[in-house]
Chains A and B, each alone.
Chain A
Amino acid sequence: MNFTYPKTPGEAVAGALKMFGESHVTATIWKLSVAALAASLAFVFYMLFTEGHAAFNTSSDGVNWGSAIATYVFFALTSSGLTLIASLSMVFGFKQFYPVAKRAIWLAIITLIAGFSVLALELGHPFRMLWAMPLGMQVHSPMFWMGVFYSIDLVLLIVKFYLLWKDDWDSGFSHFIGAASFVAVVLASGMLGLVFGSLAMRPMWFGSATSLFYIISGALSGAAAIVVSVYLAYGFDARKIPAPLRSLTLGDQLPKVFATLIGIVLVFLLTRIWVGLWSNQDGMEGFVALLHAPWFHLEVWVCLALPFLMMLSPSMQQEPKWQVTASILVLVGLFIERLQFIVAGQNVPMFKGTWMNGVTPYTPSLTEWMLVVVGVSTALALYALGERLFNLCAAPKECMEGAGQLAQG
């Protein structure tokens, strides 16, 4: 692939259109994801115009927040995780992570956009939100602060990406933006955790641990996303990967970071379920339901424990195909986690209706699944666009050379 920076928006559009006629991995992703996005958006809009939000299976009787909110949380936290990965080199000076920094920032922007798009389609009045939230100034609402921090986060990410596009890796301003966005993203993902964690009447969510869990599991999904994206960029062919990047992915550092994050997330999950099953507190019944759900076991054993072992195994951890497999499993697992956590937390009906003695059932409707497709295809299409137009593999020159020597030596 040749990278040509578009100089004007017109050139960018032309480049995007041209990609429809090209044949390489990125172009294939672009074509498929644009098609999926067009189809899913058309379906969702059709349903929203004919049925409205009644096309969702969420209900006042039980699960008020369903798969759309879970998708938003999944993307928002992946975005936060990607920013944390970018911060490794740009804030904390781990120079070996420079080759993925620009890519991570771009992915952070687009996953946040994907998340916000899904959220906008879930909200009753997304446009009203634009004035009602800033004018309302409800400083005691966790959701208000989540909005504030994620908005700041998005602006800082865009500024940072612009600076990297201009090859400004090292100016004082660039460093400042990097540090500021690290702080913003910790606050944003932590606050997203508190949207759930603040609610004492929902014991499955309650507590500051939810906030910590969101920050750390976000970092894990960010790490998984960056691994998948690096291999996608080079058509899953490790030989094509430039030396500095190869020394990062094929060394044992990335797998170690990855395994550590999976390990911490597993500890969080298993201790949470222990407390949930052990406790007799009213409102914890959703944990029993979780234990009976096949999805939960898929998540814990196949999507998290298995990749954990893969990334610990010396024979597998540096193999590109196992790294990619582990990353994809982790992303699937974390999506299940977001959905289960959000749904199970609302499974206990709050005196809603007569004879509601068990946990309330919920399965997403077709419209809701299509909304998930909208999110995923938005992210993939924008990823392909960035890959094609913005040279996501760029890194500071000195670093590329230094790392390159390292790899050769």
Chain B
Amino acid sequence: MAKWGMVIDLEKCVGCQACTIACGMENNRLPGENWQDVIFFTEGTYPSAQLKWFPRPCQHCENPSCMAVCPTGATYKTEDGVVLVDWNKCIGCKYCMVACPYGVRFYTDEKPLIAPDMRKVYPSKDDHSWNPPWKMPDAREDWKHGVGIQPHDVVSKCTFCYHRVSKAPPGTPDLDPQDPKLREFTPACVVTCAPGARFFGDLSNPESNVSRMIGDKRGVRLLDQLGNKPQVYYLTGVGGAVPSNRAIHKKS
């Protein structure tokens, strides 16, 4: 079984947020409900202040605290290492949101993050929380794996595009979007990334490109001190950085 993971090269990432848009289109996200967000932050002060950024999907942790706290088993980890939410089981208690150190989860029913409220502009007549004019084919929708447009009052998050990745030929070491045969199995954010800063592959295969990059280029994980052990690695090189904490000014 593969253990899917992602590598994001921050030296290549230009902060264009195409990944955020691609994810939103692929997974029918509400505006602002960015399963894949790009977080901008500043370090230092004038005149040596620096603007930095890093893309933040769900980290699909090896030890997912979201799964550990979930009282129903709605949040679970698949055999191939992807953390998913079963919308048929989720009771909307939001414990997983409180327990995720990376803020990647969203509750369906709250004040719209960006006006107007698209759920009201495109209301749903069935169990879905809304009915946008663009959406993935019904055949791909899969509530057991948290794929598609979610029902009301559940929690949703990045699935590593499970509807694509889970169809990949077994034993594939890397899902490289440059390879036409593998493109349709590769997560949408990886496919769309113009500078090619995102890589997706099997972390359990030491020969995979992602494993090599993590080893050769000293991949780091976000807030590693918390022990969740993300399966998303960042290559910081000379120019990139991930914050070592949540970057809040204490005295503010």
Contact = CB atoms under 8 A, between A and B. Distances in A.
Interface string A113-129: 00000000001111011
Interface string B82-107: 00000001111111011111110111
B71 interface: yes
Contacts of A202: 98-99
Contacts of A138: 70-73
Interface string A132-151: 11011110111110010000
Interface of A is mostly: loop
Interface stretch (B108-116, B171-179, B213-221): B108-116
Given A53-B109, A143-B71, A199-B65, A64 B91 contact: no
Nearest to A346: B98
B125 interface: no
Given A64-B98, A348-B246, A129 B106 contact: no
B111 A136 contact: no
Contacts of A60: 33, 97, 105-107, 110, 113
Given A123-B93, A358-B252, A141 B98 contact: no
Interface string B228-252: 1000000000000001111111111
B110 A58 contact: yes
A283 interface: yes
A65 interface: yes
Interface stretch (A171-179, A256-264, A349-357): A349-357
Nearest to B117: A54
A351 B247 CA distance: 9
A57 interface: yes
Interface residues of B, number: 59
Nearest to A140: B68
A351 B98 contact: no
Contact of B91 (A132, A280, A355): A132
Contacts of B250: 280, 284-285, 288
Contacts of B252: 285, 288, 357-359
A61 interface: yes
B227 interface: yes
Nearest to B86: A132
B218 to A, nearest CB: 21
Most A C-beta atoms less than 10 A away, residue of B70, B71, B97: B71
A52 interface: yes
A148 B4 CA distance: 35
B140 interface: no
Given A129-B72, A201-B65, A357-B248, A54 B110 contact: yes
A17 interface: no
B37 A133 contact: no
A56 interface: yes
A398 interface: no
B86 to A, nearest CB: 9
Interface in A301-360: 346, 348-355, 357-359
B118 interface: no
A348 B40 CA distance: 16
B196 to A, nearest CB: 23
A354 B68 contact: no
5 contacts: A200-B227, A201-B226, A284-B250, A357-B252, A358-B248
Given A54-B117, A125-B92, 7 more contacts: A128-B90, A135-B72, A138-B73, A201-B101, A202-B99, A288-B250, A357-B41
